[in-house]
Amino acid sequence: MRLICATDLSARSDRAVRRAAMLARARGAELLLLHVVDDDQPARLVEAALREAAELLRAQVAGLAELNGLPTQVLVQTGDAFDAILRAAQAQGADLVVLGTPRRGLLRNMVVGTTAERVVRGGCCPVLMVNLLPTGPYRRILAAVDLSDASARALRAAAALGLFAGGAKLTVLHAFALPGKGGLALGDAPQEAIEEHRQVTAEQAEAELARFLAGIGVDLGPAAPRLAVEEGRPATVVKQAVRRLRAELVLAGTGRHGVLHRVLLGSVAAELVAELDCDLLIAPPPEPPA
């Protein structure tokens, strides 16, 4: 297994490096630290930046306890950051790309959303966006599931990384819409009838979720996951669940029908990328047919 951690060498990017190191050590994986130097500047400045970045990366390897004794390579490239990350991931056959995130705000919305979008669109491997300061294995994981192949890919990616093996508490969440809500079908119905309709729909959704998990063949760890179904907009439901459960990691897939399929187009999941304070593992869309 090979992991790539792209770092901008900022203090906050240490979080991504630490998490990548923990994952690499736990899985016996190879780790590559990547920094990209903007080449849209005079050649002498590019050369100086390359030398400085290589020195800083080596110092980071020597200085972080999580990297102590872990075989780690460093790579400094020039060009567009997104393209360089994709090139490195494809050339190295990476199984995971780890990205750090700036603090919340306009810069985060622009930088993180665009970086994740282009890397995930490359489709070569999952992307882990790190917000939290790592203190150990993930303890509380929330999988946002919509019963699609995209959701199955996200769960498989997490299982391949060993994220369910350490006794983490896994909650699998499915957001559903209440048929007829707000329309003529339920508009004049008594509240009791609406609640009964909601309960029946929720029970059906939970049964569908259980069948989905049983059918994808993914080992979700030694403890049975908690299944949760909630009515509402997926992004809103996920954000509320993250706060309520104090989730450290959210899993989601991308694709034609994935929970995050529109984050890459600037819609629902963009809220998760921009607003979640926890880490986010995004599974790539399937490769297009030949």
Supply angle C-alpha 239, 242, 243, rounded to 5: 90
Model pLDDT, residue 100:
86
Alpha carbons 272 and 134: distance in angstroms, whole number: 20
Of 1, 8, 9, residue with least CA distance to 25: 1
Kind plus residue range of the DSSP H or E element containing 151: helix 149-160
Beta strand segments in 63-193, E: 72-78, 96-100, 127-130, 140-144, 169-176
Model pLDDT, residue 267:
47
**What b/e string do you get for 214-224 counting C-beta neighbours within 10 Å, with b at 16 or more?**
eebebebbeee
Beta carbons within 8 Å of 145's beta carbon, 6+ residues apart: 151, 154, 155, 172, 173, 174, 209, 212, 259
Two structure tokens written together for 229: 């179904």
Model pLDDT, residue 184:
42
Model pLDDT, residue 264:
41
Model pLDDT, residue 287:
65
Strand partners, 97: 4, 127
Supply angle C-alpha 130, 147, 110, rounded to 5: 35
Integer Rg of the chain from CA? 21
* Residues in the chain where the model's pLDDT stays below 50: 105-111, 184, 257, 261-267, 290
What interhelical angle do 191-216 and 149-160 show, nearest 10? 50
All structural domains of the chain, each given as residue ranges with its CATH number in brackets, are 2-130 (3.40.50.620), 140-283 (3.40.50.620)
Alpha carbons 188 and 190: distance in angstroms, whole number: 7
Alpha carbons 206 and 59: distance in angstroms, whole number: 50
Alpha carbons 58 and 52: distance in angstroms, whole number: 10
Model pLDDT, residue 188:
65
Residues 56/30/131/231 CA torsion (nearest 10 deg): 160
3-state secondary structure of 193: helix
The whole-model pTM stands at 0.87
| Beta carbons of 142 and 31 less than 8 angstroms apart | no
Model pLDDT, residue 226:
95
